[in-house]
Structure formats: C-alpha cells, structure tokens
Amino acid sequence: MATVQFFDTTLRDGEQTPGVNLYNTEKLQIAKQLEKLGVDVIEAGFPITSEGDFKSVVDISAIIKNTTVAGLARLKQADIDAVYEATKNAVHPRLHTFIATSDIHLKHKLKMSKEQVMESVKYLVAYGRNLFPDVEFSAEDATRTDKEYLAQIVEAAIRAGANVINIPDTVGFTNPVEYGNLFKYLRENVPSFDKAVFSCHCHDDLGMAVANSLAAVENGALQVESTINGIGERAGNAALEEVALALYTRKDYYNCEIGLNLSQIKSSSQLVSQLTGLAISKNKSIVGANVFSHEAGIHQDGVLKEPTTYEIIVPSLIGVTSNSLVLGKHSGRHAFAQHMKELGYELDDQQKDNLFIEFKKLTDTKKEITDEDLHALLSEQTVKIELPYDVDRMQLEVDSAKAIQKATVKIKNPNGEILEANAEGSGSIEALYKAIDKIFNIESRLKDYSIQAVTNGPDALAQVRAEIEHNGKIFIGVGISQDVMEASARAYVYALGKAKAV
C-alpha cells in the first residue's frame, strides 16, 4: 500500500483565521503537539511577512527533530531567502513556494503573462532547489487554471527541481469529481509526474474540502494539506482529523496507509481549540463532544450489545478515554506529571511546577478532575507565559433597587504595576468590561461573547470567549475559571492585551 503523508498548515493557513493571533509560545506548543501526532510536515509560517512570523519559524525549526519544517514563500528571491534563513537550523527543512496560475489571478493580481510566470517558475524553483534539499511548488488557484497550461507549469517546476507539487483549490471552487479528474489529467499529461509527490490543499467554501482531498488521494495524491479542526482562512481548510480517520477507517477502499499517531487526535484538537479560541461544535466529526453519544433507544441498545453496531470508530483510537476521573486532591506531583505526559504533553520543569500549583488550587474546590479540566489548565498556563496583562483582583456589587451593577477591577500591567478602575453597567459583564476598558484605554468594540462549560456538573470550569474589533482587526481572548465573571474578565483582558501589542 502507498503511504499518504500529512502536511499540517495549522500554524500558517490556520492562523489566517480571522481573529486568531497566536503568541510565539502558543505556536511552539502546537508545533510540539503536531510532532507527537506524527504529521510529516509542519508549515511553521510565512517568514517574510513579519518579524514575529520569522522568529516563530526559527524557533520551531530549532525544537522539531522528527518532522519536516516548511516555510512559505512567494515565488520571489527575497521570500525564498527569508525561508532559508528561518529554517536553516531545522533537521529537515522544506521550501514551499507558490505563484498564481489562473487567468483571473494573472490578469487582476499579478498583472503578468503566462510566459512571464513560466520563466519565473523555471528560474526561481531552480534557485530554491540550490538552497533546499526539499522544494514544494504550489500553483495557486490551480482549480481555475487552464488544464493544459497547468500541466506545462507543473512539468517545468519538476524539471527545475521541485520534488513536491501542490494542486490547491485555493478558493474552494471545485467538487470531488472535477478535482479527482484534474489529478488524473495531470498524471496522464505531465511526463515527470512520477518524479514528484503530488499534494492537495483544499478550502471549505462549498463544504467539500475533505471530500475533495479524498478524491485527490484516489487519483494519485500522496500528500494531504490540512489543519487541525479545519481552521483557516474564510470557511477554513480540510480538517486533518477527518481526512485521516476516513483513510484509516476505509483503508479497504482507499488502499493506503497513514503514519499518524491517531491517539493524539483528541489532544491536538483540544489544544488548538483552546489556544485559538475557536470552539469545537458538539456535532463536529471525529472530535465533537457528541460523536460517541447515543440518545436513540435503538442505538443505545445496539451499542450495549455490540459497539460496532453504531460506532465505526473506537473512542480510544483517537485518545478519548472512557474513564474521565483521573486525578484528585491527594494526587502527587509525579502522578500529575505522568498523566499529563499520557495526555500527550511534554512539559519542562517550570511548566510542571506552575501547572501543578493551579491543579492543586482547583482540587480545593472541585472534587473530580477530568482530562478536559487538565487541557483547560494547560492552555491557561500557556497563555500566561506571554500575556503581558493579568487580572489581579475584581469585585462586583449589585444595586437591585437601581438595577445597576458596579465593578472594580485591578489588572497587573507588563511592568508589574497594579492598575485599578471601576465602572457601572446595567449588567455584570457590562460593568466589568467598562472598568477594564478604562485601564486599557484603546478604541475597541466587543463583537461576540460566549460561554460554555468545559466539563459537566455544577463545579465545571467555565470557558469564556471574547471577540473584539480594534482598528479593523479581530482579536479573540479565552478565559477559563470556575467563576464565570473571572473567566469573562480573563477573556476580555487577553483579547485587549493582544490588540494593544499590535
């Protein structure tokens, strides 16, 4: 059987999700988790776009030992040089370079002729191959490109040194039949097809990203580009976990192997969700909370008699444990650290110490500590490493006679100073956020506020997501606490802290 590789672009295309702005330590945490998951390639970023992106690619290149680290570059020499400098210390570096090939992009965006694009491909792919042992070329907007011209471009890229060819459905335009036929056409019309690994990169604008990716695999693609939870620009990308489980579960049909450590799927999904602030729908395929729940009586009866009657995926396969009670008040540091390792987290001594302190605080008020609680605690600690502002103290007063809420908030700034403000509002959240606004003193607008329980029961942790708009950009903050008001304050401070740092 052929082996299908997974190219994960959560840290590049995924971070282009509106409102997602990951700190460097958050990116490193996700990169480490992706390596545990066993992805073949981590696209760490787009180095030339910003100093922060360049540094993230450098840092990820330094810590990842078993996975290829790729950097994105336009088909420009300066971009390629930036990727080289950012990934030169990676054990397995890859250049991922692209240029648009569709008529609409050539005319309106690039303002280049087909001949000019062809010459750029020949020269700059060869330039990149002189610097990198591994070069991937992407024909942007391939699914709206003239097929004959696309075949010519692909052949030129392979001859120039590209050993991976990506055929992206950049705007989510195609469908499975068309996309599969496009790979079949290229296989029949690109003389050097067998000299490169062909890759698919599908967007979900029409809801067909996963189906299109699978159609590509059926027709010769040996690399799938995807993101955890399907996050990404606009409607997002093909969800890695969905493509992976489809290939694994229906191995009889797709006739291929995958090298992923599927037991890390759930941990990867939760980590990305909590660090990006993008909640997972309960009915989301593979990783949603309802995936292994059965309400219909007939289904319940069938599962009790034989799980495979209504479950085609064994929960433990993706890291979902049936026994959620894992640790308690009397658990020691060693047992705590060991369990975090079993959940897929490699923590340094400082992280273990900080997290264990928070764990012990939680056990004083919460009798049953679940895996979901631990995931939440870790994401909070990851945020605190780089979050320059933190909620020090808060107090709320209710004047029922006047129907007014009063809030007093103390926030620690990057210099360690405690800043205090108070405000009134018609509700607790309004009063709380008005007081915080006085401290930050920046123009912003709360666009969305949501709250969900991390676990079940009256002592569940609350996870609050606050989305703000500042200078036309969206910033998302997530706060977690047993106290809803404290979680709300943390989420808002986190979002404002991101906005102020830009």
**For the chain, which residues make up each domain, given as ranges?**
2-276, 321-384, 387-501
Q: What is the pLDDT of residue 333?
A: 83
Tens of pLDDT, residues 460-485: 788 899 999 999 888 888 888 888 99
The DSSP output letter for 102 is S
Q: What is the CATH number of domain 2-276?
A: 3.20.20.70
Closest CA to 493 of 380, 364, 356: 380
Mean pLDDT of the chain: 89
pLDDT, mean of residues 288-308: 58
Strand partners for 139: 99
Query: How many Cβ atoms sit within 10 Å of the Cβ of residue 253?
Result: 11
Tokens of 121: 């491909």
Tens of pLDDT, residues 323-365: 444 577 777 888 888 888 777 677 778 878 888 888 888 888 7
Split at pLDDT 50, 70, 90, the class of 282 is confident
Q: What is the pLDDT of residue 306?
A: 62
Alpha carbon 312 to its chain's center: 26
CATH superfamily of 387-501: Alpha-isopropylmalate synthase LeuA, regulatory domain (3.30.160.270)
Residue with tokens 């480490």, as numbered in its chain: 32
Q: What is the pLDDT of residue 294?
A: 45
Closest CA to 449 of 466, 473, 461, 432: 466
Which whole-number Å values give the CA distances from 438 to 222, 331, 390, 412, 498, in the listed order? 54, 42, 15, 14, 16
**Percent residues over pLDDT 90 in the chain:** 63
Strand partners for 397: 406
Residue with tokens 């395929």, as numbered in its chain: 285
Strand partners for 479: 464
Greatest CA separation for the chain: 81
pLDDT, mean of residues 75-80: 98
Query: How many Cβ atoms sit within 10 Å of the Cβ of residue 292?
Result: 16
Would you say 476 and 467 are in contact if contact means Cβ atoms under 8 Å apart? Answer: yes
Would you say 451 and 469 are in contact if contact means Cβ atoms under 8 Å apart? Answer: no
Closest CA to 376 of 460, 440, 502: 460
Which whole-number Å values give the CA distances from 116 to 120, 121, 487, in the listed order? 6, 9, 55
Most confident residue range from 99-108, 344-353, 369-378: 99-108
Per-residue exposure over 346-371, b if at least 16 CB sit within 10 Å of its own CB, e if not: ebeeebbebbbebbeebbeebebbbb
Query: How many Cβ atoms sit within 10 Å of the Cβ of residue 211?
Result: 21
Q: What is the pLDDT of residue 323?
A: 46
How far apart CA 80 and CA 37 sit, in angstroms, is: 28
Residue 293 has pLDDT above 80, yes or no: no
* Helix locations, 309-447, DSSP H: 333-342, 349-363, 371-386, 428-440
3-state SS assignment for residue 422: strand
Residue 387 has pLDDT above 80, yes or no: no
